[in-house]
Each structure stands twice: as C-alpha cells, then as structure tokens.
Chains A and B, each alone.
Chain A
Amino acid sequence: MGAETFAPETVDAIVRKNGGTSANLILMLQDIQTEYRYLPHDALLYLSDKLNVPVARVYHVATFYKAFSLKPKGRHEFHVCMGTACHVRGSKLILDQIARELDLPPGGTSKDLKFSLDTVNCLGSCALGPLVVVDHEYVGHASLQKMKRIVANLKKKED
C-alpha cells in the first residue's frame, strides 16, 4: 500500500500516464485514490495547478463520485453489497453485524486506521448474496456468524 504523505512526483507520473489532459481528471483521481487510499488535499491542489483546472472543479468531481474519499481509509476495508438481490437476502443485518463488531458506522474508518466499513450498491455477483468484500476478497453467502469470525481474525492479526 502507498505512502501516507503526498509526493509531487507521484502525481506527476499519474498525470503523465493519463495524457495530461483535464478530460482524464476522473482517471487521475482514481489512480491517486489507489495510491494513497484517499485523495490528499495537497494532491488535489497540486493537480488543479498542474492541469490548470479550478480547485472547485477538482473538488466537485472528487466529492461527486462514490469511488473517491477525502479521508484516509483503513488498512482493512469491508464493502458490504447493498444491491437488491443481497438486500432481499438480508444484507442489512449483515451490515449491522459488521458495524457492531468493528464499532464503526457505515462509511466510517477507525481512528487507528485499521478498519473501514463501506457499502456498495451492487457488485454484480448476486448469486453469492449476501456478499461482503473484505480486502478485495469476495465473501459469498455471508452469515452473521461468518462475519463475526472474519472480524475477530483480522483484529487478532492487527494486534
């Protein structure tokens, strides 16, 4: 995973990779998000300057799309699918369970940056529902007890 502090060279490389045009602003922000697990304020200012795009527009885009976060995300990310198929199979209870076990509200990140909990609208793997993605691994047919175990294991690993 990437460094926590913003480095101009990293953003330079991302801008170059995406052709340097402001039409590719979203793609650049995606790469910055991947690099830092969030969009650092300084990186956005730098990008605005570099592309000659108003800061307001950069922020308009950065706050419009779900893929972006202005706050750092945790090392372990839980994404609970809230698509319709998962919903009718009880994903709300699963979300509540993880929120309880992590002591985090949906959308929240723990203070020690160990865990983040987010919802996602549909991952298109409806047969596996209810579905939770834990650190990019699909956990299909999630049950309340299964999630409890997964959280406990990750917590143990982090201690």
Chain B
Amino acid sequence: MNDLLATIAVILGTALAVLSAVGLVRMPDVYIRLQVASKASSLGIALLMLGVAAHFDDVSVTIRALLVVAFLFLTAPVAAHVLGRAAYITGCPLTAGSKPDDLAGRYDRATGRLAAPDGAQRGDREAEAG
C-alpha cells in the first residue's frame, strides 16, 4: 500500500516538475514564467516529499519531508512576489494582450515611487497631503 502510494506520488511529482520546466520555456512573459515556476514546482516537490515519507514510513523522515514542504510553501510565494516586483521595477515588458496592468502610469521610474491616481482612494491622498 505504501509502495503504491510512493510510486504514484513520485510519478505525479516528476510530471509536475517537468511541466513547470516546459512552461518556463514556453510562456511568453516574465510574470507568467514566474507563476509557472513557483506554483507547479511547489506542488511537484510536495508530491515527491509525500513519496519519500510513504516510502520510508519513519517518523523522523516524515518530519523532515514535511519540513521541506512547509518551508517551500512559505518561501515560494514570497520569492515570487519579490521577483515580480523587481521585474516590474526594472521594466520587464508585459506580453502583448496582457490586459489588466493596474500599475500603469502610477510608478515613477525617475524617483522610484508608487503613487495613487487622482480620485482613487481618499485615505491614500490624505496620507500624501499630510
């Protein structure tokens, strides 16, 4: 039973890792690549670690595998956010047809400051005035 679970987890996790690598090459845009690389590979590693835990069937190994998964799930979104922000600030272009660009016109490249547009939110404007 454990062997079957480990085998299935290894196969699925490997497939997800390969898919995320393929997506990294195929996708047209830094931001889309970022999302492919962070989400699919996180789930792939989680499945591989599930396979490790099922194969060894030992408390200490299971805790270490869970530690890897927990750490990855904590850090992957943070890394993706920081990298996406850096990509926008360094001026990586969005792919053609990528519709909602909420930061368009609000980021001042010369000063490196983000500003709210006119009439967006009262709180923001008051904070800026005061």
A and B interact physically: no
Give chain A's interface residues, CB within 8 Å of chain B.
Answer: none
